[in-house]
Amino acid sequence: MVNENLVKDVVKEPYKYGFVTDIETEKIEKGLNEDIIKLISQKKEEPKFLLDFRLKAFKKWQKMKEPNWAALGYKKIDYQDIIYYSAPKQKEKISSLDEVDPKLLETFDKLGIPLTEQKKLTNVAVDAVFDSVSIATTFREELAEHGVIFCSISEAVKNHADLIEKYLGTVVPASDNYFAALNSAVFSDGSFVYIPKGVTCPMDLSSYFRINSGDSGQFERTLIIAEESSSVSYLEGCTAPMFDTNTLHAAVVELIALDNASIKYSTVQNWYAGDEEGIGGIFNFVTKRGKCLGKRSKISWSQVETGSAITWKYPSCLLLGEESVGEFYSVALTNNLQQADTGTKMIHIGPKTKSTIVSKGISAGKSKNSYRGLVKMGTKATGSRNYSQCDSMLIGDQASANTFPYIKSQQPNSEIEHEASTCRISEDQLFYLQSRGIEFEEAVSMMVSGFCRDVFNQLPMEFAAEADKLLALKLEGSVG
């Protein structure tokens, strides 16, 4: 018989990224109106088209209602009580990493993010975003040699305005949903990636998002364009300090893959999740969508969601190009009073398109973990195929696991398969492992790791190790 308390102890683990960096920041006043948007745009010295884009989005946002269909319960967000721009004060222009405030470098060091020289061995280029601005992007020269553009979106607006104007908002239009409209109006920074024709990006690209202030929201925007026959693997990580207030994070990620291009987008989301009583934590409302425009293009999302008090996130693929492929691999772990409503949308538009969905949800404590997904076969999607698998694991009798798959088909020559199951950690398996001398805690950890294996296998190597560790940490506790 499994000792219930033991399992409960195992899932308790303090949040280790909860420190606050004491750094002078420049903030604008709270509230949201046209003047604030103009001010943000002015601070970022943006061209007119972008200001118009923001104002148009703001007008749309004002007419929209906050969605309430998700299986989430949270206190009403006061959008006028949020600071929409916050940046660490530093010298006007940074020409090299040496000029970055050492405190910031220290912060990212503490988070295990290599921004400085000695870490270059890892062969991952990093764009570090602190509150509303990008602090540094590493390996730029090396990338530039291959023609790859990897910079903050603010820089891209200045240096590659044509690309931004051409692609921004084409995958996630401002009117897409409430949070996308809000993001379009006030987005501060984020990453921009452009992979030219025929180039395989020589290293993994990575963005690291850090929220530092308790009263400012974070609204980053990421845009990745993979030209014909190019490929890139992009990693994203997030953390935030512990505050007893809720911080809003509303991001938009747009991916565009042209003929034969492939984009792999991996996320380890570990925002602060609030304490055991559910006080504090990040409200995470994210719109992520990729467009497989070209023939045989491929977009693959993999995510490990362990943080945030509220997660509302559905990385999606629009499969337009013939024989394009969409993939979604997700592990979502919720504990205490966390709530996650996450899943994906696979919209098959072009012929012979294929998609795979593998989602693993683990709910512990009093948390709520829902999978919500849509698979749609349009009338032209002949010979298309989808396979979905959603498994949930429950730890303790107060957590809940829900599955809401929406399946819609208008094409007889396509096939859709969906399966879902719910289980708990099997006593037999635990007993087996323990009888072989494996500690209870380690056994639970192994089982969870095994449960998530299908997804971890899809993560880039650096991340897979991190994700496994992260889950083990979250599930590690004071046993024995």
Partner 1 sequence: MEIIEKIKTNKSDDNLTEIQKICLHKLQSSPLPNPKSELWRLSNKSKFSNFLDYSFNEKDSKFDIPYPKKSQSTIRLIIGENCQIKLIEKNYSIQQLSEDELQKYIKEQISFFKQNENWSDLLNLSLSYKNNILGLKINGSKIPPIEIFSHASSNSLKAKTLVIFLEKNCNVELLQVNLGKENSSLSQSTFFCLKENSSVNHGVVSYGENRSNLLNSLNVIQQKNSAYNLGSLHFKFNYARFEISIQQSAGNAKTNIKGMQITKKDEQISTYTKIEFNGPNGFLDQINKSLADDKSHAIFEGSIIVPKIAQRTDASQLSRNLLLSNHAQIDTKPQLEIIADDVKCKHGATISQLNEEELFYMRTRGITLTEASKLQLSSYFQEIISFIPISKDKWDLLDKLLNEN
According to the binding rule CB under 8 A, does residue 3 interact with partner 1?
no
- Counting Cβ atoms within 10 Å, is residue 361 exposed (0-12), middle (13-18) or buried (19+)? buried
Rounded CA separation 297/55 (Å): 33
The answer to the question of residue 401 lying near partner 1 (CB under 8 A) is: yes
Q: Indicate the helix (H) or strand (E) that contains 447.
A: helix 440-451
**Token pair recorded at residue 307:** 């943080």
Give the helix/strand (H/E) hosting 463. Answer: helix 461-475
Q: Which residues between 236 and 275 bind partner 1 (CB under 8 A)?
A: none
Interface with partner 1 includes 392 (CB under 8 A)? yes
Q: What separation in angstroms does the CA of 215 have from each of 63, 276, 287?
A: 25, 21, 22
For partner 1, give the closer residue by CB, 110 or 408: 408
d(CA 137, CA 115): 8
Q: Which of 395, 448, 455, 464 binds partner 1 (CB under 8 A)?
A: 395
Which of 90, 175, 400, 449 is in the footprint of partner 1 by CB under 8 A?
A: 400
**Residue number with CB closer to partner 1 (47 or 383):** 383
- Site for partner 1 contains 444 (CB under 8 A): no
**Nearer residue to partner 1 within complex by CB, 288 or 368:** 368
Per CB under 8 A, 408 contacts partner 1: yes
**Residue with Cβ nearer partner 1 (377 or 464):** 377
CB 53 within 8 A of CB 35: no
Contact 165, 51 (CB under 8 A): no
Of 88, 321, 405, 460, the one binding partner 1 by CB under 8 A: 405
Residues linked to residue 127 through DSSP beta bridges, in sequence order: 137, 207
| Region near partner 1 per CB under 8 A, out of 15-23, 102-110, 292-300, 395-403 | 395-403
**Coil, helix or strand at residue 449:** helix
Closest distance to partner 1 from the beta carbon of 471 (Å) = 18
Residue closer to partner 1 (CB basis): 2 or 163 = 2
Q: Among 410, 429, 434, 457, which residue interacts with partner 1 (rule: CB under 8 A)?
A: 410
Site track 413-442 with partner 1 (rule: CB under 8 A), x = hit: xxxxxxxxxxxx------------------
Among 80, 123, 200, 398, binds partner 1 (CB under 8 A): 398
Residue 362 interacts with partner 1 (CB under 8 A): yes or no: no
CA distance 430 to 478: 18
Which pair of structure tokens corresponds to residue 215?
A: 């009263």
The tokens of 229 are what?
Answer: 């026959």
Nearest CA among 279, 151, 293, 174 for reference residue 223: 151
Report the nearest approach of partner 1 to the CB of residue 285 (Å): 21
Does 231 help bind partner 1 (rule: CB under 8 A)? no
Nearer to partner 1, 49 or 406 (CB): 406
Tokens of 47: 């061209």
CB contact at 8 A, 270 and 307: yes
Q: Which of 10, 21, 207 is nearest to 106 (CA)?
A: 21
Shortest separation between residue 183's beta carbon and partner 1, angstroms: 25
Least Å distance between CB 402 and partner 1? 5
Q: How far apart are CA 358 and CA 266, in angstroms?
A: 14
Catalog residues that contact partner 1 under the rule CB under 8 A. 377, 379, 392, 394-424
